[in-house]
Structure 1
Amino acid sequence: MRPLVLSLAAISLVACGGGGARSTGSDASAIRGAIGGGARPSAAAAQAQPAAAAGAWTSLFDGQTISGWHNYKTPGAPVAGWSAVNGELVRTGPGGDLTTDKQYTNFEFELEWKVESGGNSGIIYRIDPASEVSYTSGPEMQILDDTKHPDGKNPLTSAGANYALHAPPAGIVKPVGEWNAVRLIVNGNHVEHWLNGTKAVEYELGSPDWETRRQASKFATWTGYGRAARGYIALQDHGDRVYFRNVRIKELP
C-alpha cells in the first residue's frame, strides 16, 4: 500500500482461523489444512476457529488460467502483468491490480500468499467501480515482507493489518518464501482478517471507532473510502513479485 500519513496506536486482537489446500464445493475445512505442505493449527486453535457459514465455496483460480479476473478499470481486456505459473497466480510485471470480474457484498474469502524479499501487495475489497484507483474506496488487508519492507516497522501497515487503521499482533506472518494463509470475512459492516490461524484484526465499518481512525489517517479526505456495500475484490499490484494459490470465495446471505 501507499505510505501512511498519520497512524494510531496499534491494537492487537488475538484468536485463530484458517487456510490451506485447494478445494471447491462445500468442503469448508479443506483450505484450513496444511500451509506449504506441513503443519496444521493447534487443537486449541481449531476449537477457537469460528464456524463457517452455510453456502458453497467457489474457486477463483484454477491454477492454469486467469479466467474471471481483469486489470482494474479494463474489464474484458487481456490481463497484463499477472500469470498462472506452476499452479500459482503470480504478479510477473506491470499491469495494475488484478480484479474480480464479479462484485461481492457479503463473503468469506480465502487464499494463500507469499512474497519475495521486500515485497508488498494487498487484498482490497468492496471496491467502488467508479473509483479511479482501487484503494481510494476499498479497505485493504496488507500483504508484506515485514522484515525488509519499511511498512513492516509500523504495526498499522504490517502484514495482516487493516491498512493504516488496525494493527495485527506481532509475529504471525511467515518468513519470506513461506506460504501465509488468509481468511477475510466481510459481513455487513463486520470485518475480520485472519492470518495463519490468528485473528489479526476485527472491526466495524462506519462505527465511531472506525471513523475516528479514518479521520486520523490519510483516508480522511477520501470520502468514498470504506463506504461501498458492494464491490470488486482486487489483488494489489504494488510493483513487487507476489504469489497466490488456493483462491476461493463463499458468498454470505
Structure 2
Amino acid sequence: MILAMSGLKASTPENRGLYADRLIKLASRLEETRYESYALNYLNALLISRHVPENRKPVIRKLLDRCREWTSIYDGNSSEGWIGDLSGYVFAEDEIQCLEGSGGEIYTASEYSDFILRFEFKLWPGSNSGLGLRTPSSGNAAYVGMECQIIDNSSEKYANLNPYQFHGSIYGVQPALRGAQRPVGEWNFQEVRCQGRRVTVVLNGKTILDIDIDAVSENGTLDGKDHPGLKRTKGHIGFLGHDDPVAFRNLRVLDLTSN
C-alpha cells in the first residue's frame, strides 16, 4: 500500500489519473473477492491523498460506501444475534463451533432477502453440517427453506452419496462441482450470493454452483421431494448441525435488497 501510494505521488500530473484508476481497480477487486476490510483502508488513504485527482473521488466514495455496508453477524464471543439450539454450539475466540455429539440448528435473528454471505469454515474428518438460506426458524431447512451442504467431501463414508449431497450443493435440488475444498483441518473461504431467483456459491475462489432456482426445479427436484422453501424470497441464515464438529469464523453479510 505504501509503495503504491508512493508511486502515485511520484507520478507526473498527467499520469496521476491513470495511476489512480489502477489503484481504484485494485481496491474494487479486493472488495469483490474477500478483502473488503483491506479495501476500506486502501480507499480511505486514496480519498485523503492530495495526489488523487478530484474527478476520481466520487468513484472512491461509492466504493467506500459499499465496503461500509458489509455487516458482521457474529461478535466473536457471544450468541447475541443468534436464535435456535444455542446450547449445541460454543461461541468464543472469534469462532462458532459445533461440537462432536452436539449441534442442532441455529439461525440469525435477522432475516435476509437478497444478500451475499462470506465466511470461513473448518471441517474434521467426516464432518457433516449445512447452511440454511432464506429459511424459517423451525422445520427441516432443506425443504422449508434451502440447505447448502457443508460436508467433508473426502470422507470414505460419504463415497456413495447422491451428487446433490456433496459440499456446496443445494440439498436435493442441484449438485455443486467438486475439487475446490481444502484438506480437512484447514480453513476454507466461502461466498454465497442469493439474489432474486439466482444462487451462486464460490469456494476458495472457484465457482462451484451458479443456478436459477426456478429453472433447476421446473420439472421437479432431483430427490423427488417437495421443496416449498425454494419459493421463499426471505428468511434466516442458519447453521444446521448433525452432531459433527465444524467451526465457523469471519461471518459477514452484504444486504443487496436496496442495491
Settle same-fold status: TM greater than 0.5. Answer: yes
Quick one: which amino acid aligns to residue 95 of structure 2?
E
Q: Identity over the aligned pairs, expressed in percent?
A: 28
Structure-2 separation of matches of 1:148 and 1:135: 22
Out of 211, 230, 235, which is 1:231 matched to?
235
Structure-2 separation of matches of 1:20 and 1:90: 23
1:217 aligns with 2:215: no
Alignment CA distance shift 1:85-1:158 (3 Å): same
Structure-2 separation of matches of 1:60 and 1:191: 20
After TM superposition, give the deviation of residue 113 of structure 1 in Å. 0.4
1:155 aligns with 2:163: yes
Structure-1 separation of matches of 2:103 and 2:154: 26
Alignment CA distance shift 1:126-1:205 (3 Å): same
Structure-1 separation of matches of 2:165 and 2:104: 21
After TM superposition, give the deviation of residue 95 of structure 1 in Å. 4.9
In 2, are the aligned partners of 1:128 and 1:228 still within 8 Å (CA)? no
Alignment CA distance shift 1:157-1:248 (3 Å): same
Q: Deviations over 1:105-144 (max 9, x none)?
A: 0000010001111000111101134x52322222122111
Quick one: which amino acid aligns to residue 169 of structure 1?
L
Q: Which residue of 1 is the match for residue 80 of structure 2? A: 67
Structure-2 separation of matches of 1:168 and 1:28: 35
Q: Which residue of 2 is the match for residue 10 of structure 1? A: none
In 2, are the aligned partners of 1:115 and 1:176 still within 8 Å (CA)? yes
In 2, are the aligned partners of 1:19 and 1:196 still within 8 Å (CA)? no
Structure-2 separation of matches of 1:175 and 1:247: 21
After TM superposition, give the deviation of residue 155 of structure 1 in Å. 3.3
Greater CA drift, 137-146 or 148-157: 148-157
Higher helix share: 2
Alignment CA distance shift 1:174-1:152 (3 Å): farther
Q: Which residue of 1 is the match for residue 253 of structure 2? A: 249
Q: Deviations over 1:180-219 (max 9, x none)?
A: 1110000111110111101111111222x333351x314x
Out of 163, 166, 169, which is 2:174 matched to?
166
Structure-2 separation of matches of 1:135 and 1:228: 12
TM-score (norm 2): 0.69
Quick one: which amino acid aligns to residue 210 of structure 1?
S
In 1, are the aligned partners of 2:142 and 2:171 still within 8 Å (CA)? no
What is the SS of the residue equivalent to 1:135? helix
Please provide the CA RMSD for this pair.
Answer: 2.7
Tell me which structure has the larger Cα radius of gyration: 2
TM-score (norm 1): 0.71
Structure-2 separation of matches of 1:28 and 1:203: 34
Alignment CA distance shift 1:102-1:146 (3 Å): same
In 2, are the aligned partners of 1:140 and 1:162 still within 8 Å (CA)? yes
Structure-2 separation of matches of 1:239 and 1:27: 38
